[in-house]
């Protein structure tokens, strides 16, 4: 586990995967096909618990103001701050391990329960699973 500092808010856009966990790959594929440059930008999975289920958003980083709105997507913000994180390489073969990784992260003291759990797909090999820390927790 490491602490990653995100120095500024990250604007992203995407849509909810209503059939989570099914349909996540298709949701990302649809965004990749519509954005300029395809998978040449970071993508994000945003999730939070709601009742007994999970709300999951497939999202891409915004390259210019209101890009998502122009493409008909919802806009979200990943708040700046410190995040407890675990990096996963070769993530395509390890998708089934992600719930366990987030379970490990949730054991950490000082998490901010008001924010999304974040999957940061840096590229086709590296994924970072992150949970935001409360603002008064530095490490």
Tens of pLDDT, residues 11-35: 999 999 988 888 998 999 999 999 9
pLDDT, position 124 = 84
Q: In this structure, is residue 74 part of a structural domain?
A: yes
pLDDT, position 95 = 84
Q: In this structure, is residue 89 part of a structural domain?
A: yes
pLDDT, position 137 = 57
Q: Are 101 and 17 in contact (CB under 8 A)?
A: no
Q: In this structure, is residue 6 part of a structural domain?
A: yes
Q: In this structure, is residue 46 part of a structural domain?
A: yes
Task: Tell me how many domains the chain contains.
Answer: 1
pLDDT, position 138 = 54
CATH code, domain carrying 55:
3.20.80.10
pLDDT, position 20 = 87
Q: In this structure, is residue 79 part of a structural domain?
A: yes
Range of the domain at 118: 2-132
Q: In this structure, is residue 77 part of a structural domain?
A: yes
List the chain residues with pLDDT less than 50: 139
């Amino acid at each position: 586990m490491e602490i990653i500092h995100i120095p500024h808010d990250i604007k992203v856009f995407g849509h909810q995967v209503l059939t989570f966990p099914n349909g996540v790959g298709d949701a990302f594929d649809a965004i990749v096909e519509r954005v300029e440059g395809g998978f040449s930008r970071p993508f994000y999975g945003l999730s939070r618990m709601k009742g007994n289920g999970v709300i999951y958003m497939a999202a891409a980083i915004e390259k210019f103001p209101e890009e998502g709105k122009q493409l008909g997507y919802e806009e979200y913000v990943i708040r700046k701050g410190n995040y407890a994180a675990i990096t996963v390489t070769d993530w395509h073969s390890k998708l089934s391990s992600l719930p366990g990784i987030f379970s490990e992260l949730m054991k950490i003291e000082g998490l901010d329960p008001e924010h999304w759990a974040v999957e940061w797909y840096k590229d086709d090999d590296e994924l970072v699973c992150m949970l935001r820390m409360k603002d008064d927790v530095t490490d």
